[in-house]
Amino acid sequence: MNNVRSYQGLDPRIAPSAYVDETAVVIGDVHIGPQASIWPMAVVRGDIHRIRIGAGTNVQDGSVLHVSHDSRFLPGGAPTILHDRVTVGHQAMLHGCEIHDLCLIGIGARVLDRAVLKPRVMLAAGAVVPPGKVLEGGYLYVGAPAKRTRMLTDLELEYLGYAAAHYMELALKHRATAA
């Protein structure tokens, strides 16, 4: 597959149960966990640092995941780490950040270097999380820069798990169609 490729000896590692659409691009030091899915036109580029995508996480159409390299401006650089059952909405941009379990990243949202989203954060469409900001779990964040607006309802908390499960099921159907 030309869309999944090595970079300077760093090979992507993709779990056998993961789904990577044939139009998505995965480069370099990228690990994609079991039942994770990378959808059409997504770019996951681990060329200058590592990217880790956890079990059951989905990266939807047109999203871009990248990293920052180690330099005097950012000692140690910034990897991109998505933990388990994260839902990344269409055209999101995740750059050198860490997103914990059961978060939802809204359509077109941006999360920048060394920002951290704790478990069960819902980030609204178009929101921007500035470098280094830590978002506490259990809340909805909106705006640019992202601001905490309210606690998530029980239904919204339930939806975080539902969204991830839905994409795991949808990926199975796409894999079966492609086979």
- CA-based radius of gyration for the chain: 15
Sign of the torsion angle spanned by Cα atoms 128, 140, 91, 111: positive
Q: Provide the number of structural domains found in the chain.
A: 1
Name the residue with tokens 């079966």.
176
Q: How many angstroms separate the CA atoms of 33 and 31, rounded?
A: 6
Output the six-digit token pair for 144: 């640019």
Q: How many angstroms separate the CA atoms of 38 and 54, rounded?
A: 12
pLDDT of residue 1: 52
Strands 147-151 and 139-142: antiparallel
**pLDDT (tens digit per residue) in 25-34:** 999 999 999 9
Q: Which residues pair with 44 in a beta bridge?
A: 26, 65
- Burial (CB count within 10 angstroms: exposed 0-12, middle 13-18, buried 19+), residue 25: middle
What is the extent of the structural domain holding 35? 4-178
Q: How many angstroms separate the CA atoms of 27 and 44, rounded?
A: 6
Using the CB atoms, write b or e for 115-130: b if 16+ within 10 Å. bbbbbbbbbbebbbbe
CATH assignment of the domain containing 45: 2.160.10.10
**pLDDT (tens digit per residue) in 37-87:** 999 999 999 999 999 999 999 999 999 999 999 999 999 999 999 999 999
pTM value is 0.97
